[in-house]
Amino acid sequence: MRAEVTLRGHMYLKQRKSTFMYKRNCVHAVECAVQIFFTACAFLTIVTVAVITGYLIVNGVPAIWKIGIRDMLFSTVWSPTAKQAQYGILYIVLTSLVGTAMAVMLGVPIALLTAVYLVEIASDKMAAVMKTAVELLSGIPSVVYGMLGLMVLNPLVYRLELRLYRDSVTHQFTGGANLLSAVLVLTLMILPTVTSISESALREVPAELKASSLALGASQMQTIFKVVIPAAKPGIITAVVLGVGRAVGEALAISLVSGGCVNIPLPFYPVRFLTTAIVGEMGYAAGLHRQALFTIGLVLFIFIILVNLTLNHIVRSGDK
Amino acid sequence: MGLTWANRMCKKKSGVKIRTERLHLYYGSVHALRDITIEIAANRITALIGPSGCGKSTFLKTLNRMNDLAGNVRITGGVYLDGRDIYAPQIDVAKLRKRVGMVFQQPNPFPMSIYENIAYGPKIHGMRQKGELDRIVEESLRGAAIWDEVKNRLDEPALRLSGGQQQRLCIARALAVQPEVLLMDEPTSALDPASTIKTEELMKKLRTDYTVVVVTHNMQQALRVSDDTLFFLNGELVEAGQTKELFLAPADRRTQDYITGKFG
Ligand SMILES: Nc1ncnc2c1ncn2[C@@H]1O[C@H](COP(=O)(O)OP(=O)(O)OP(=O)(O)O)[C@@H](O)[C@H]1O
Ligand SMILES: [Mg+2]
């Protein structure tokens, strides 16, 4: 009996090593069929990723050849429909980078403090209510954020703009549709993700670690900022990276509030993001313009891949 | 009653460090400590023994007011450190905890370097001078018998140490704020035998400078390291006395049953 069991185990291990696609440890025909079916389903994902990657490269690269890498990536003039068409996407790329960075810099501290409040300070009842609110917030479709941004945020930002640029003769008023509004909408949109992931990270900090700090005579605040948050750092970084991912990829909401001209990304300028450029122009673009939009898609795709690689790296180094 | 037990304990060196009087503790409706009156002698090791759930950790935590953290705790009676009531309203809990340090069951270094782990407490209490901090770090690590193992890697993350080393680091961390009393809640139950022996040796050494109160489930350990023993059962203090006497000739039947392994 024993020998047989170990022998089987041994064989199993050998098979495990020897097959690449699936562990060929099925015995009956039905089992094998099921395994093959599952494998096929799993492959669908891989195929999808491969197709998307291939499609974006095939469609995104030609424009770079035709326009020239310098005229495209490092030029700031984007006028694809002019007689002398120009396809510089530098400002568009910068807008996405700066917009995301600003949203993250604003949103992460707020989300982190919210998470600390939920875990360390709020009563159980209060925490439950707030958690539900945070979950609801993350379930709201992005177009709704955009609409509310348009109706509520833009007028407020416009008021601010009017006050700040009261005496300016050169400023082009945006009516509130500018980078600042987009950043604020993005900030709101990443709050739920960053909050709930930071919260679970904070909750996982062992109670004894906190108690050790308190037992040394540290106050609750000292304990939170010097021990609890550092201990939750890997989870918090994951939260931040996911927030970055969400902000980089967001299109609909910010297309409604960001104005839409290609501009250097300054708070009170109307701007165009990588995503909003595609959303806004794909409908009518043709020829080289269309190809250039695919290049923009490719750049966006590369950003997202980079974000995900960072995430994987963090998760893996956290496991060690 | 309790006082007569306490009188059986030897107080040859410098008398009583901690005294509790008619101490009751309730978690909501759970009556976790019942009428505990006891004296804990200075510069001795006092072991708390008893079956799981009998209130050992709870009692330990009343001594540095860690029970304040659980929301639903109610305490009556008194706990006196050097004769002063530590539950009196004017007591600064941070200062109290500086005087009464604590080491937990699981080794739990902070997620920072070895050096920073030890310097954490002194920094919290306002120590800023680098030279003085260096001195405290070395002294504490020496005090916890781990200096030789870590002196060349003070900047490494403390989590890279072995479990046994981590536990001695936690002891060093507690020593760094120069406490007078050291409370230890099953400090060796997560350790391998070799690390356990090292930690026990360390505890014996600590007795010269500190008053040590240690919770243990291990009768052999209580016998090996402690001078006095308190036996708890269902939140009551059943028996207290010098360890050797209590183990050799327990006065109470329940103590006898527990130390001979009939229950628990
Ligand atoms: N925070 C709490 N809230 C409610 N009840 C508690 C709490 N902590 C402990 N208790 C209860 O108080 C009693 C004593 O618990 P305590 O942790 O002091 O036991 P112990 O002797 O340390 O046990 P062990 O040997 O298992 O560690 C138990 O019945 C326990 O369920
Ligand atoms: Mg306990």
Q: What pLDDT tens digit does each residue of chain A (320 aa) get?
A: 444 444 444 444 444 444 555 566 667 888 888 888 999 999 999 999 999 999 999 999 999 999 999 999 999 999 998 999 999 999 999 999 999 999 999 999 999 999 999 999 999 999 999 999 999 998 999 999 999 999 999 999 999 999 999 988 899 999 999 999 999 999 999 999 999 999 999 999 999 999 999 999 999 999 999 999 999 998 999 999 999 999 999 999 999 999 989 999 999 999 999 999 999 999 999 999 999 999 999 999 999 999 889 888 887 876 54
Q: Which residue of B has its CA nearest to A222?
A: B124
Token pair for residue B213? 């109160």
pLDDT greater than 70 at residue B14:
no
Query: Does B57 contact ligand 1 (Cβ within 6 A)?
Result: yes
Q: Indicate the residue of B102, B111, B112 with minimum beta-carbon distance to A215.
A: B102
CA dist A110 to A114, A191, A193, A319, B99, Å? 6, 8, 12, 27, 37
Q: What backbone torsions phi and psi does residue B232 show, to the nearest 5 degrees? A: -105, 145
Query: Which residue blocks in A19-89 are alpha helix, DSSP H?
Result: 29-67, 69-73
pLDDT of residue A3: 44
pLDDT at B262: 77
Q: Do B121 and A227 touch (CB under 8 A)?
A: no
pTM: 0.83
The DSSP code for A259 is B
Q: Closest-lying ligand to the alpha carbon of B26?
A: 1
Residue with tokens 């930690």: B199
Q: Whose CA is nearest to atom 11 of ligand 1?
A: B32
CA distances from A101 to A88, A184, A276, B145, B182 (A): 22, 12, 17, 48, 48
* A89-319 is classed CATH 3.30.750.200: no
Chain B contact set for A215 (CB, 8 A): 64, 66, 97, 101-102, 174
Q: For the range A229-232, what are the long-range contacts, defined as Cβ-Cβ under 8 Å and sequence gap of 24 or more?
A: A229/A112, A229/A116, A229/A202, A230/B110, A230/B111, A230/B112, A231/A205, A231/B110, A231/B111, A232/A198, A232/A201, A232/A202, A232/A204, A232/A205
Q: How far is A197 from chain B (nearest CA, A)?
A: 20
The residue type found at B219 is M
| Spans of all domains in chain B | 43-64+90-259
Please name the residue that has the structure tokens 């008619």.
B22
Measured in angstroms, the CA of A11 and the nearest CA of chain B are apart by: 35
- The CATH architecture that domain B43-64+90-259 belongs to is 3-Layer(aba) Sandwich (3.40)
The predicted model gives B53-68 an average pLDDT of 94
Contact B173 A215 (CB under 8 A): no
Starting from the CA of residue B67, give the closest ligand. Answer: 1
User: Rounded mean pLDDT of B245-259?
Assistant: 93
For A216, the closest of B106, B112, B124 (CB atoms) is B124
What residues of chain B, 117 to 176, have a C-beta less than 8 Å from chain A? 120-121, 124-125, 170, 173-174
pLDDT bracket for residue B261 (50, 70, 90): confident
Which distant-in-sequence residues (6+ apart) come within 8 Å of A218 by Cβ?
Answer: A226, A227, B94, B120, B121, B124
Q: Read off the amino acid at residue B146.
A: I
Closest residue by Cα to residue A138 from A183, A191, A200: A191
CA gyration radius, chain A: 25
- Which residues, listed in sequence order, are joined to residue B75 by a DSSP beta bridge? B25
Q: Are the CB atoms for B192 and B163 separated by under 8 Å?
A: yes
Domain locations in chain A? 2-62, 89-319
Give yes or no for a contact between B79 and B22, defined as CB atoms under 8 angstroms apart.
no
pLDDT of residue A12: 47
Average pLDDT of chain B, as a whole number = 91
